[in-house]
Amino acid sequence: MDAENNLKLYEEVADDLKFHTISAVRMKIIILLSSGPAKTKQLRELSGIQSSTILHGINDLEKEGLVIKDGDNYYLSEIGKIIALKLFDTVKTLNALKKGQSLWLNHEIDAIPEELLMNISCLSNSKLITSDNINISKVTETYKKLIGSAKAIKGITPFFHQDFVEIFENNVKDNEIKVELILTDTVLKEIIKGVRLNIKSFIKLMADKNLNIWLLHEEPKVALTVTDQFLSLGLYAKNGSYDIFKDLISEDPDAIEWGYKLFEYYRKEADKVELKRIDKLISYLI
């Protein structure tokens, strides 16, 4: 980011920014009018704000060209509609950060590309699952429950966990679930060791293209599972260890789409693993 240039841009619109954000009344009017034209009475009933206060706010918005009056109705101008969209995005962004605050703070957010951080508002309808001393396995239990009904799974797995083997044995091999995984070489080797009793099923899944694997040369500082039904996101702490006690979960379509984009970002950086490489690893490891 060009901090100096951004500062200049801010100074050019500082008064406009203050106008759009400092008044709760004006913000509520913009939000309400984004659904369509409304009369003063409707705005009063929906907002709970006195008519005199609403009219004062509308007057300010009219002067700035954001609201237009047509008879008894008020509606957003073209610029007003654009401002409303950006306002909603800001509100959703703040909501997403508030819900997942302890995950975003002191964690490796650089593992998420800037274009997706810019769209973090897609995660506004999410919840942070946190394990504690009372229920240390809460994150794992929630994850298993959600993934049990998935029909397609995409995942970025920077570390090995035995849960993958259990998921494979209980869900994947018998239900023809489509699975795509981005791993490191170390994790792939551990997975093959873990599924050794079902190695034939593992090979068949790859041969039938129901299991596709890509390898990253460097360990990603993010763990992701995105399915047709939910998103699961975990991050590394600043000390370099993966935070197993926090997992951001969302079943919102926008969050799932955001997760697909994060998966694709890393998939483009990874190398596809062919079946013959798996055969060699199996011969070596098992």
Bigger pLDDT: 211 or 93?
Answer: 93
Structure confidence at residue 169 (pLDDT): 65
Structure confidence at residue 276 (pLDDT): 76
Structure confidence at residue 284 (pLDDT): 63
> Alpha-carbon distance 117 to 113, whole Å?
6
pLDDT tens for 130-177 read: 998 778 789 988 888 888 888 899 999 988 877 666 766 666 656 678
Angle between helices 185-194 and 275-285 (to 10 degrees): 60
Task: Return the bridge partners of 249, or none.
Answer: 127, 232
Q: Quick one: pLDDT band at residue 4, thresholds 50, 70, 90?
A: confident
Residues 6+ apart with CB under 8 A from 91: none
| Co-location of 270 and 189 in the same domain | yes
The kind and range of the H/E element at 280 are helix 275-285
Q: Tokens 């596809």 correspond to what residue? A: 272
pTM: 0.86
* Arithmetic mean of pLDDT over the chain: 87
Range of the domain at 197: 102-285
pLDDT tens for 219-265 read: 899 999 999 999 999 999 999 999 999 999 999 999 999 999 999 99
Q: Residue 185 in contact with residue 270, Cβ under 8 Å? A: no
pLDDT tens for 29-52 read: 998 999 999 999 999 999 999 999
Q: With a cut of 90, say whether residue 74 has pLDDT above it.
A: yes
| Co-location of 32 and 131 in the same domain | no
Bigger pLDDT: 219 or 1?
Answer: 219
Position 56 in a domain: yes
Among the three residues 89, 122, 148, which one is the final residue of a domain in this structure?
89
Structure confidence at residue 97 (pLDDT): 93
> Alpha-carbon distance 105 to 91, whole Å?
19
Position 97 in a domain: no
Position 225 in a domain: yes
What count of residues does the chain have? 286
Calculate mean pLDDT across residues 113-131. Answer: 95
Position 212 in a domain: yes
Position 113 in a domain: yes
pLDDT tens for 127-140 read: 999 998 778 789 98
Number of structural domains in the chain: 2
Q: Quick one: pLDDT band at residue 207, thresholds 50, 70, 90?
A: confident
Q: What angle do CA 39, 44, 50 make, to 5 degrees?
A: 125
> Alpha-carbon distance 139 to 212, whole Å?
26
